[in-house]
Amino acid sequence: MDNNAGSQDCLRTQDCTLSAPPHTHNLGLLRQGLMRTAQRRGTATAMATTVEDEVEAPEPGDGPRLGFVGAGMMATAMVNGIVASKVTEPDNVFVSAPHRSSLDRFAKLGVRTSDINLEVASGSDVVVVAVKPDVVPAVLREIAPHLRKDALVVSIAAGIPLAVLEQLAPGKRVVRVMPNTPCLVSEGATGFSMGSLATDEDRDTVHALMGAVGLAVEVKEALLDGLTGVSGSGPAYIYVLIEALADGGVRMGLPRAMAIRLAAQTVKGAAEMVLETGEHPAVLKDNVCSPGGLTIAAIESLEKNGFRSAAMQAVIAVASKSIEMRNAEEEKRTK
């Protein structure tokens, strides 16, 4: 992968496509993709013809409808990000879950909610399956017969392969998406893989939808396990790092709240440096380490304590579990 990718608008390699950062052409793409969907359905009021075309944000009630089946952490992050990005009106978003209590936070955003999955299934152009992986089969069997003829099914479940999703939703266009919780603040990192019936238009729609809430990368399905290890689960490792850095600061006398803010801003700043300069992280690390200075002593300590290996093993642990889940699902499918 090109280390300079962050400074480019778009980079296509054999295995993946990197999109530009959010708030650039992705909004146009999302609108374009979603408006196309709406036009097919006969409800579009405006139509973008090129990615660069500026189109008015859809009026409430117009435009394609995004449904979420499942109202947990990841649905919350995606819906908040999508609503904040203003790519669609809140009342075009429809969320279902069995317990009303988990829907309250969605209702506060102005999105429509229901405790009946079939209402979301039959009323949405793009249906995001956002339940735990072990619930996916039951949910897809329940909703598949009630999906709109042209509906696109997007699964965000870890470890459930496209072949299984397609078997559970026969004849439907399916895309597998692996987002992460920073979608909530429009700084997500998402990978996605296209199902066998999914079209270029669906690619644009998903690319634009997830690009509106962060970075969106298309990968071959086999790479989704490793991608989950890096970015799907990655925020959790970074929170542990922030907490640990803050603990170190507190140990040295900094007030807790200040230490957390300093640690979080340091992570954010370092990440921005990687994305914006396109430099290899090793170069940026070297720039902090003055010869004979303080930081190189910290690097020595991190290496002695297996920091680098611990981070790699974390990614591999997630990927291995994801592969295990995928294999078990494949086995059930082919039995």
Ligand X SMILES: NC(=O)C1=CN([C@@H]2O[C@H](COP(=O)(O)OP(=O)(O)OC[C@H]3O[C@@H](n4cnc5c(N)ncnc54)[C@H](O)[C@@H]3O)[C@@H](O)[C@H]2O)C=CC1
Ligand Y SMILES: O=C(O)[C@@H]1CCC=N1
Instruction: Return the residue of 76, 80, 92, 233 that touches ligand Y, per CB under 6 A.
Output: 233
d(CA 35, CA 277): 35
Q: Let me know the angle formed at the C-alpha of 282 by 278 and 284, rounded to the nearest 5 degrees.
A: 60
Q: Residue 130 binds which one of ligand Y, ligand X, none, with CB within 5 to 8 A depending on kind? A: ligand X
| Strand partners of residue 192 | 177, 218
Contact 318, 229 (CB under 8 A): yes
| Residues of the shown chain interacting with ligand X in the complex, contacts defined by CB under 6 A | 69-75, 96-99, 102, 117, 130-133, 135, 139, 156-158, 178-181, 232
- Which of 100, 121, 106, 95 shows the shortest CA–CA distance to 184? 106
Min dist CB 5 to ligand X, Å, is 22
In the three-class reduction of DSSP (H, G, I as helix; E, B as strand; rest coil), residue 198 is classed as coil
Using the minimum distance from each CB to ligand X, give the nearer residue, 264 or 296. 264
Q: Residue 38 binds which one of ligand Y, ligand X, none, with CB within 5 to 8 A depending on kind? A: none
Q: Residue 259 binds which one of ligand X, ligand Y, none, with CB within 5 to 8 A depending on kind? A: none
Instruction: Return the residue of 44, 158, 168, 208 that touches ligand Y, per CB under 6 A.
Output: 158
Six-digit token pair at 53? Answer: 């075309």
Min dist CB 298 to ligand X, Å, is 30
Min dist CB 7 to ligand X, Å, is 27
Using the minimum distance from each CB to ligand Y, give the nearer residue, 76 or 233. 233
Give me the residue label for tokens 């409800």: 43
* 231 sits near ligand Y (criterion: CB under 6 A): no
Q: Is residue 186 left, alpha or beta, with left meaning phi > 0 and alpha meaning psi from -120 to 50? A: left
Q: Residue 157 binds which one of ligand Y, ligand X, none, with CB within 5 to 8 A depending on kind? A: ligand X
C-alpha of 269 from chain center: 21
* 230 sits near ligand Y (criterion: CB under 6 A): no
Min dist CB 181 to ligand Y, Å, is 8
Q: Residue 73 binds which one of ligand X, ligand Y, none, with CB within 5 to 8 A depending on kind? A: ligand X
Contact 64, 88 (CB under 8 A): yes
Q: Residue 315 binds which one of ligand X, ligand Y, none, with CB within 5 to 8 A depending on kind? A: none
| Strand partners of residue 214 | 188
Local structure of residue 230 (DSSP, 8 states): I
Using the minimum distance from each CB to ligand Y, give the nearer residue, 92 or 228. 228
Contact 213, 181 (CB under 8 A): no
Neighbour tally for 160: CB within 10 Å? 22
Using the minimum distance from each CB to ligand Y, give the nearer residue, 201 or 243. 243
Return residues touching ligand Y (CB under 6 A). 158, 228, 232-233
